[in-house]
Amino acid sequence: MEKEQPVSQLSLDEAKQEIAPLRKQLTQWGKEYYEEDNPTVEDYVYDRAYQRLVELETRFPELKTADSPTQRVGGQVTTQLTKVRHEIPMLSMGDVFSVDELMDFNQRQQENRDVEVEPEYNLELKIDGLSLSLVYENGKLVQGSTRGNGTIGEDVTANVKTIKSVPHKLPEPLSLEFRGECYMPKASFVKLNQEREAAGLPVFANPRNAAAGSLRQLDPKVTAKRDLATFMYYVPEYQKLGVTTQAAALDRMRELGFTVNPNNRVVHNQEEITAYIDEYTTKRDQLSYGIDGIVEKVNDLDTETALGNTVKVPRWEIAYKFPPEEQATVVRDIVWTVGRTGNVTPTAVMDPVQLAGTTVSRASLHNPDYLREKDIRLGDTVYLHKAGDIIPEISRVDLKKRPADSEEYVVPTTCPVCGSELVHLDDEVALRCINPMCPAQIKEGLAHFASRNAMNIDGLGPKIVQQLWDKKMVRDVADLYHLDHDQLLTLDKFGDKSATNLLTSIDNSRNNSVERLLFGLGIRHVGAKAARLIMAHFGDLDHLMEASAEEVANVDGIGPTIGESVHTYFANPQVVDLINQLRDAGVNFTYQGPTTTVAEDSPWNGRRVVLTGKLEELTRSTAKQWLEDHGAKVTGSVSKKTDIVIAGTAAGSKLTKAQDLGITVWDEARFRQAMQEEN
């Protein structure tokens, strides 16, 4: 990118020529970010352009307009959600991009003639999410809303109530508004994008946009599946809490049951501020949630009130934004892989580079449209970053370094594994191989068939499936029921006991209720919950196979998309042959009533939970059983992968570690409330 001419050297006419298209571009980027949850540029690109506009309007105030992006907060409210007016506006923060700029900001505060400012600040991590307002009346949650344009937001109360870190009732009858950040943990972001990519849907650019898209759903059930979390950090009417400092306000919110980030620190000078910034610049990759900077707030709340706000930003706080971490590398190849549902995904293979603490040599290109939009070609020099500090992603191509003989990359038309023609289904962005006998899909399907919510064949993971496939012992799921002891002994690290255990698990799976089989077959759009609804209606697999698409669609909770998918699947002669093989193998085809299968929409599904301390009203075994029945994995130690720690009395080192890692912590009362809500 060409170096911009300093604003100080521009004439008024030159500034006029630059400022109009700059405003237009920023407005478009802002709409994509705030309203559509689908940004097309990285944050630092927007920040750099925005800062340029601020400099232009500062030097040439006659060019400032009321509709400039510098005069607006957030985005316009354009969704179908009910509008909410904020009695106290929810403002944006100003940004600085270096410690020197941060010190200049502090110096201007110290020189304020109207307000005496003590050099004591509360530093907090800048969570990469979206602003959230929670209103309580007499201790009961009555409204949750987004920031919107600062004055008008969106009512997301029903969605907020599905977020486990948001208390529905406070231990005190307070009528008060609390503000904070709604975010999506890194692990949840990765899982969600993997699911969307497998389903042929566009992926989210980063956790912030995933959180925004999830919180602003019209259906709270969708929000519940997205594993959102919150950190609360601000009380506009702090006097009602009886606190005088920001640090004390955070402690008070913790007492009330809110999840508050544990990493705030009160500081007094540049040395302490710099040490904090350096510490979390290093630690940010280790956190289980995304941060994009540090927030500095005047600690004394009366001083905060006295300083007040500009039309857009508070004068008592500022955000230090981390510099972007990018690395240049060269694309050497683009490989295509086939998933369980036939989704064919391109991946760029590049020269290895160090990025955010790891060596990166591959980055998903998601789908053909993404590949074309970025215009990525073999031999291109590209710039890599990590979306949300997690997923390696190509941000841009350096066109100046593109080889002279470069040619546009040609998207394949046949499956890289089986050679079948690739197709676009419905309005998907994904390419799919629709050959049900494609070896790549079969291997992925075998692992899915054995998974917990499907046939629950313990010990049959992807590595064992790969060995069975390589040794030509299985070619479809029916072959699993013909494996013998001697065959299994030929697998790596398999002895008599492991072979016997796997055969026992396979044999036991024959007796599963048929909804597990239907889910395990991997029919597109049919999850565990849909499989249970369908089989409860039809009773057995034979009646389902004879049903029309309309008859399946008419099952309560199913609909035409699943109905058509199920009918199309069973109309395939190869599928009919597979079903007959499973019948001959003695696999149960009958619905046996409610099972312990965890519903896909259970908000506990896949969560890692640690129980610590003494529970007063529940036994440890009762709590563990309930969590596991609802899909959670209860573990004995706290790590970055832990989602929730439930702490009873006398909780020790596990609680301390959870707080250090910023993991959500509940007491027994909050857990029992969640149990009641779920049941």
Amino acid at 161: K
343 and 288 in a single domain? The answer is no
Residue 389's domain comprises: 327-419
CA 371 to chain centre: 22
Angle at 251 between CA 652 and CA 89, to 5 degrees: 140
Closest to 666 (Cα-Cα) out of 625, 617, 609: 609
Residue 39 has a pLDDT of 65
575 and 623 in a single domain? The answer is no
CA 186 to chain centre: 6
SS3 215: helix
Q: Helices (H), strands (E): how many in the chain? A: 24, 22
The mean per-residue pLDDT over the stretch 153-182 comes to: 93
391 and 498 in a single domain? The answer is no
CATH value at residue 276: 3.30.470.30
Q: Burial code of 105-126, b = ≥16 C-beta within 10 A, e = fewer?
A: bbeebeeeeebebeebbbbbbb
Q: Look at residue 78 and tell me if it is in a domain.
A: no
Amino acid at 576: V
Q: What is the pairing mode between strands 644-647 and 608-612?
A: parallel
Predicted TM-score of the model (pTM): 0.55
Query: Would you state the structure tokens that stand for residue 278, as one six-digit string?
Result: 């350096």
CA 120 to chain centre: 35
Residue 468 has a pLDDT of 93
CB neighbour list of residue 663: distance below 8 Å, 6 or more residues apart: 288, 638, 642, 643, 644, 645
545 and 641 in a single domain? The answer is no
Q: What is the pairing mode between strands 140-146 and 95-96?
A: unpaired
Distance between CA atoms of 314 and 676, rounded to whole angstroms? 41
CB neighbour list of residue 302: distance below 8 Å, 6 or more residues apart: 244
- Does 95 have pLDDT greater than 80? yes
What is the torsion angle, in degrees rounded to the nearest 10, for the CA atoms of residue 567, residue 569, residue 572 and residue 574?
-150
pLDDT digits (tens, 9 = 90+) for 398-426: 999 999 999 999 999 999 999 999 988 76
pLDDT digits (tens, 9 = 90+) for 614-632: 887 787 777 887 887 787 8
CA 147 to chain centre: 20
- Does 154 have pLDDT greater than 50? yes
SS3 annotation, 70-86: HHCCCCCCCCCCCEEEC
Work out the burial of residue 180: count CB atoms within 10 Å of its CB; fewer than 13 is exposed, 13-18 middle, 19 or more buried: buried
66 and 118 in a single domain? The answer is no
Residue 595 has a pLDDT of 47
CB 285 within 8 A of CB 390: no
Using the 3D structure, point to which of 321, 349, 374 is the last residue of a domain.
321
93 and 35 in a single domain? The answer is no
Query: Would you state the structure tokens that stand for residue 247, as one six-digit string?
Result: 């640090």
pLDDT digits (tens, 9 = 90+) for 502-548: 999 999 999 999 999 999 998 888 988 889 999 999 999 999 999 99
Amino acid at 516: R
CATH value at residue 653: 3.40.50.10190
158 and 96 in a single domain? The answer is yes
pLDDT digits (tens, 9 = 90+) for 477-487: 999 999 999 99
pLDDT digits (tens, 9 = 90+) for 17-69: 888 888 888 888 777 765 555 666 666 677 778 888 888 888 888 888 877 87
- Does 184 have pLDDT greater than 80? yes
DSSP readout, 354-380? EETTEEEEEEE--SHHHHHHHT--TT-
111 and 61 in a single domain? The answer is no
Residue 42 has a pLDDT of 67
CATH value at residue 17: 1.10.287.610
CB atoms within 10 A of CB 136: 21
Please tell me what DSSP assigns to residue 435. -
The mean per-residue pLDDT over the stretch 343-356 comes to: 89
Q: Look at residue 593 and tell me if it is in a domain.
A: no
Question: Where are the extended beta strands (E) located within 422-499?
Answer: 422-423, 431-433
Q: Look at residue 77 and tell me if it is in a domain.
A: no
The kind and range of the H/E element at 653 are: helix 653-661
Distance between CA atoms of 460 and 447, rounded to whole angstroms? 7
What whole-number percentage of the chain has pLDDT above 90? Answer: 43
Domain count, the chain: 5
* pLDDT level of residue 388 (50, 70, 90 thresholds): low
Using the 3D structure, point to which of 321, 352, 371 is the last residue of a domain.
321
Residue 116 has a pLDDT of 80
* Residue 382 vs residue 625, higher pLDDT: 382
The kind and range of the H/E element at 307 are: helix 301-307
Active site residues: 126
Average pLDDT, rounded, for the chain: 86
Q: Which residue reads 């001959």 in tokens?
A: 584
261 and 356 in a single domain? The answer is no
Q: Look at residue 281 and tell me if it is in a domain.
A: yes
CB neighbour list of residue 51: distance below 8 Å, 6 or more residues apart: 95, 97
Q: Burial code of 39-69, b = ≥16 C-beta within 10 A, e = fewer?
A: bebbbbbbbebbebbbbbbeebeebeeeebb
* Residue 579 vs residue 658, higher pLDDT: 579
Question: Where are the extended beta strands (E) located within 184-310?
Answer: 229-234, 265-267, 291-298
Q: Look at residue 333 and tell me if it is in a domain.
A: yes
Question: Where are the extended beta strands (E) located within 138-227?
Answer: 140-146, 152-154, 176-183
189 and 100 in a single domain? The answer is yes
402 and 352 in a single domain? The answer is yes
CATH value at residue 372: 2.40.50.140
Q: Look at residue 298 and tell me if it is in a domain.
A: yes
Phi and psi at 90, nearest 5°, equal: -100, 105
Residue 78 has a pLDDT of 47
Task: List Cα–Cα distances, 300 to 233, 242, 258, 384, 673, in angstroms.
Answer: 15, 13, 21, 41, 35
576 and 648 in a single domain? The answer is no
- Does 2 have pLDDT greater than 60? no
How many Cα neighbours within 13 Å face the side chain of 380? 22
SS3 544: helix
Q: Look at residue 130 and tell me if it is in a domain.
A: yes
Using the 3D structure, point to which of 29, 51, 71 is the last residue of a domain.
71
Q: Which residue reads 């190509």 in tokens?
A: 394
Q: Look at residue 76 and tell me if it is in a domain.
A: no
The kind and range of the H/E element at 327 are: strand 327-338
As a residue count, the chain comes to 679
First to last CA, the chain: 57
CB 256 within 8 A of CB 82: no
